Amino acid sequence: MPATMEISFTKLGGHMAMAVAGVDLSQPPSADLGARLRQALWDNQVLCIRGQTIGPGAYLAAISAFGEPQVRPEIPHVEGFPEVTTLSSEDRDLKGDGKRLVAGANWHSDDTFMPRPSALTALYGLIVPDVGGDTQYANMYAAYEALPEEKRRYLDTLKVVHTMKPAREGLGRTRSIAPEILAARPPSTHPLVRTHPETGRKALYISRNRMDHIVGMDRAEGHALIDELVEHAIQPQFTYRHKWQQGDIVIWDNRCLMHKANGDYPDGARRFMQRIIVAGEVPV
Ligand code: OGA
Ligand code: MN
């Protein structure tokens, strides 16, 4: 990268999401650049690094500037790089019915059923469709802050049991999960409102299809409350819709966002992403 290459930041959504151009991640970011990118992520919740053409080793090294990459053995990965998993328009569900699998088509936060869910997720768009396949984000700080104070104080007291097994019927297709993997992932209990360890801000912590029940509440009543909060959080003033450009690396913060995949690109159109998740902490 020429020393004169200028780094420029451009706001993508009205209240969240930042794009950065002029960064070449074929070499690991310097300590100074790493710090700038992390700060941009904490300030904007979604960071899009434009125009990359890098291999899995460089991608892994770059994401390591944000935290420790994790392995998820049940997702296909790039040969020789177990941390670099793949999402493809060619993916098909275990059910074997030949239908396209769109992982993450419901509003969610990644891996909330884990005791320490991943803090960040990175997706690298190697092949992106011309039309469709956007990723949507909801800012859960903003959604929380917009609630009346009395409601916030009540929500602050609630805990939720999360399971890998889908908690709801009829929320659309999800990846079928092998029984031995489900058995190895016991439920986790997390607060409904969590405090972000970097920013100190509170955010709603919601992943609808993984939230089995709210502790001490009737299951249906808890689901109704969660549905109400999801509907509140996905209003346009809290959301951003990312239209992918080839070469984008988008990093998002699962601790203060929900996100959603869209499988609305035409049959035959291709979409291929490399994904890395970054270790998180016990939500508090
Ligand atoms: C994910 C996810 C969204 C997308 O990788 O966790 O939800 O648009 N992806 O592919
Ligand atoms: Mn996801």
12 pLDDT more than 70: yes
CA distance linking residue 216 with residue 117, whole number of Å: 23
**Ligand 1 atom having least distance to the Cα of 133:** 8
Measured in angstroms, how far is the CA atom of residue 66 from the centroid of ligand 2?
18
Nearest 10 degrees: Cα torsion 256, 168, 170, 229: -40
Active site members: 108, 110, 259, 275
**Residue 226 corresponds to which tokens in the numbers above?**
């969660």
- Answer left, alpha or beta for residue 221, where phi above 0 means left and psi between -120 and 50 means alpha: alpha
For the chain, report the end-to-end CA distance as a whole number of angstroms.
Answer: 41
Q: Which residue has the tokens 């035959």?
A: 268
Taking only the tens place, the pLDDT of each residue in 52-95 is 999 999 999 999 999 999 998 888 999 999 999 999 988 877 66
Q: Which residues line ligand 1 (CB under 6 A)?
A: 87, 103-104, 110, 121, 123, 135, 259, 261, 273, 275
**Ligand 1 atom having least distance to the Cα of 135:** 8
Taking only the tens place, the pLDDT of each residue in 84-142 is 999 998 887 766 677 777 778 899 999 999 999 999 999 999 999 999 999 999 999 99
pLDDT class for 47, splitting at 50, 70, 90? very high
CA distance linking residue 154 with residue 117, whole number of Å: 24
Ligand nearest to the CA of 273: 1
Ligand nearest to the CA of 125: 1
Kindly tell me the sign of the dihedral angle through the C-alpha atoms of 9, 12, 13, 14: positive
| Percent share of the chain, pLDDT over 70 | 95
For the chain, give every domain's residue range.
4-278
CATH fold of 4-278 reads Double-stranded beta-helix (3.60.130)
Nearest protein Cα to ligand 1, atom 7: 104
Average pLDDT of the chain, as a whole number: 93
Measured in angstroms, how far is the CA atom of residue 258 from the centroid of ligand 2?
8
Q: Are 241 and 140 in contact (CB under 8 A)?
A: no
**Ligand 1 atom having least distance to the Cα of 87:** 10
Ligand nearest to the CA of 135: 1
Claim: this prediction has a pTM higher than 0.75? yes
- Pocket probe for ligand 1: among 77, 134, 135, the residue whose CB has the most ligand atoms within 8 Å is 135
